[in-house]
Every structure is written in C-alpha cells, then in structure tokens.
C-alpha cells in the first residue's frame, strides 16, 4: 500500500462526495457505474493475482540467472526480452534483479532490455488487455513495444559508458 | 456488456465469475499444483492475496474514476485533449499522463476504454500505455540499484519511444482493421 494509491483513493472519494452534493442523481449514477465496473472486473483481476502467486512461487528467479548470468550476445537480448515479458511484478523486484545480473557479468544492454520488457510487456495480463482493447490493438501494441525494448537496449549500449 | 444496463451488480458479478477464463485456469492450476507441492501452493496463494491487498485501493479508485469520468467529462473535452484534432500536443499530453499513472496496468484499462469511447484517438491511448512503463515514484529507488545515469537514459528512452509508439500502433491497427 503505497502513498500514491492512498492519494488516488482520497481524491476519488472526495470527488464522489462533491458529485453527490452537486447533483444527487449524477452521484448515484457514478456510484452505480463504479460498482458495476468493480464487480465485473473482480473475477479476472483476482485470477491474475492468483496466477502471479503461482508464477512467483513455482518459477524460481535462479532460472533468470542460469540463462542470463553472463549474457552479452544478440540472442541473449532476445532471451532477455522473453524473460522480461514473462516476468511480472512490481518494479521493486525488477531493479535489484537488474543490479544482480550486472554484477554477475551480464551486459548492461541485456539488463536494459530485460527491465524494459518487464515494465512494458506482460504476457500474464494479455487476456485482460484483449478483453479491453481487442485483438488488433493488443497484437500491435505488444509487437511495437517489444521492438522498443530492444531499441532501449541499443540506446543504453550507445550512450552508457 | 454495457455497464449501464440495469442488471443487478451481483448478477453481473456471478455471470462474470462463471465466464472468467483467467480465474478458472488459475483455480485448476492451483488444484493440480496442490497435489504436486502442497507447501509451495499455499505460499503462492498467500503471495497472490498479498498483491491483491497491496493494489486493492488502486482497484477501487480506478472504478470510482470510471464512474466519475462517465458523469463529469463530456466527450468534447476528451476529443479536444486526446482526439485527432489535438495533434502532436495530444500525444505529448498522453505520454505525460502515462508517466503519472501508478499501479499494474490491467487495473487502469477501464479508464482507457472510457477515454476511447469518448473520442480519444488510438495513438493517445497507446502512448499512455507505453509511457505508463515509466514508474515515476520508483525512479529514485531504481537509481539506488542501477545508478542515475542508467535510470535517466532508460526512462528518457521509454518516454521518447512512447511518443513514437502511439503513432506507429495507431497506423498498424487502422490498417489491419481496414483489411479485415
């Protein structure tokens, strides 16, 4: 529970009260839409959290080290892209992992690709993305996003020294 | 599945639970894994619930904002901010908005759907999602591990690409839709 989410919540609640004060009918409508939205998404979102639990527990982080501990070649960047897209979780986990990989001898550009795809692409949540935006959008967003992740690796390779 | 349809929220919830593939896949996996490794499966549930707890307020807030947007924001405003007529400025605004969003992105999708239905262009929504990868509140934390130089290059790159990505994604999506 970080500060930002508490701020979000307080803004939302105050705004709802303000809406009620201004116009009771609009306030009720906003609450009804919010409740419907919340309840209709709850099963999928809960499913995602359960899957994240399995992922965290049954896919050991040592796999990442085993395959990317000394990664520097072109194929290693692709592998980093796949690992990053599969991985899910808060950036709090990603950054320490990135540092550990650099210490282990992975190239900085490989770590950049890994972190970029970690924050940009989420295979686990593709299902929810599909429901919201449809096939065309999801396919292109993820493909273009993956290319960007590789380009970020290149950017770091060129300018970080 | 319009949320405006006057079906009872509980009915809606039960129907969504019945048809949620993600939830059923997760449950089947849990039952299977329980027989493989009881202890790890229980840990997995605890971990899953802990993320749920950590993001619960964001989840509620996003739902509130969807309701508030529907009531307050007129399509004209969204068109002006994020529509075709907003041009490059609309995309830049979108990227900035993206950097300010916190929380897992599958939680914010409904807000983006709302923007699309109110006249935002695809490029703007795509740019918001791309720029969302920049976790502004986490930047100092990241720098503590990887150094400021890396973090600035990394996030600067993410921001610049988010501007371009919006346009490219929109172009491809519209082209694919035309051909289908």
Which residue, among B8, B64, B107, B118, would best test binding to A if mutated, counting the most A CBs under 10 Å from its CB? B64
* CA dist., res. A160 & res. B68, Å (int): 44
The tens-digit pLDDT sequence of chain B (180 residues) is 444 556 788 898 999 999 988 899 999 999 999 999 999 999 999 988 988 888 788 889 889 998 998 888 888 888 899 999 899 999 999 999 999 887 777 788 989 999 999 999 999 999 999 999 998 877 888 888 899 999 999 999 999 999 999 999 999 999 998 886
Interface contact B21-A54, CB threshold 8 A: no
Query: Which residues on A lie below 8 Å from B126 (Cβ)?
Result: 137, 141
* CA dist., res. A9 & res. B11, Å (int): 26
* CA dist., res. A69 & res. A71, Å (int): 6
Enumerate the domain spans of chain B. 74-179
Q: Which of B22, B44, B57 sits opposite A1 (nearest CB)?
A: B57
Q: Exposure of B179 by Cβ count < 10 A (0-12 exposed, 13-18 middle, 19+ buried)? A: exposed
Contacts of B137 (CB under 8 A, 6+ apart): A2, A3, A4, B102
What region does A59 belong to: left with phi over 0, alpha with psi -120 to 50, or beta?
beta
What would the pLDDT profile of A140-157 be if each residue is shown by its tens digit? 999 999 999 999 999 999
Interface contact B145-A95, CB threshold 8 A: yes
Q: Exposure of A125 by Cβ count < 10 A (0-12 exposed, 13-18 middle, 19+ buried)? A: buried
Interface contact A29-B70, CB threshold 8 A: yes
Question: Which ipTM score applies to this complex?
Answer: 0.82
């Amino acid at each position: 529970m970080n500060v930002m989410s508490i701020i979000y919540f307080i803004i939302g609640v105050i705004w709802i009260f303000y809406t009620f004060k201004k116009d009771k009918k609009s306030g009720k409508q906003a609450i009804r839409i919010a409740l419907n939205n919340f309840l209709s998404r709850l099963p999928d979102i809960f499913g995602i959290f359960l899957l994240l639990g399995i992922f965290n527990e049954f896919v050991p982080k040592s796999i990442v080290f085993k395959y990317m501990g000394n990664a520097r070649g072109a194929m290693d960047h692709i592998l980093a892209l796949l690992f990053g897209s599969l991985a899910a979780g808060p950036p709090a986990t990603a950054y320490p992992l990135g540092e550990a990989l650099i210490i282990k001898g992975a190239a900085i550009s490989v770590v950049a690709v890994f972190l970029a795809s970690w924050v940009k692409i989420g295979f686990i949540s593709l299902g929810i993305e599909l429901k919201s935006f449809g096939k065309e959008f999801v396919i292109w967003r993820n493909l273009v996003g993956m290319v960007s992740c590789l380009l970020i690796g290149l950017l770091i390779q060129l300018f970080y020294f | 599945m319009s949320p405006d349809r006057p079906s009872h929220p509980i009915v809606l919830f039960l129907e969504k639970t019945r048809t949620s593939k993600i939830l059923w896949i997760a449950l089947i996996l849990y039952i299977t894994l329980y027989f493989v490794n009881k202890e790890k499966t229980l840990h997995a549930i605890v971990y899953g619930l802990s993320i749920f707890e950590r993001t619960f307020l964001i989840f509620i807030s996003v739902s509130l904002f969807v309701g508030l947007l529907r009531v307050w924001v007129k399509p004209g405003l969204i068109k002006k901010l994020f529509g075709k007529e907003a041009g490059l400025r609309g995309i830049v605004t979108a990227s900035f908005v993206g950097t300010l969003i916190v929380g897992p992105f599958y939680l914010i999708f409904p807000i983006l759907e709302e923007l699309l239905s109110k006249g935002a262009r695809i490029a703007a929504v795509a740019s918001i999602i791309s720029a969302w990868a920049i976790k502004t509140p986490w930047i100092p934390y990241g720098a503590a591990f990887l150094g400021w130089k890396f973090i600035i290059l990394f996030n600067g790159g993410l921001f610049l690409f988010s501007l371009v990505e919006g346009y490219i994604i929109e172009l491809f999506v519209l082209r694919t839709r035309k051909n289908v």
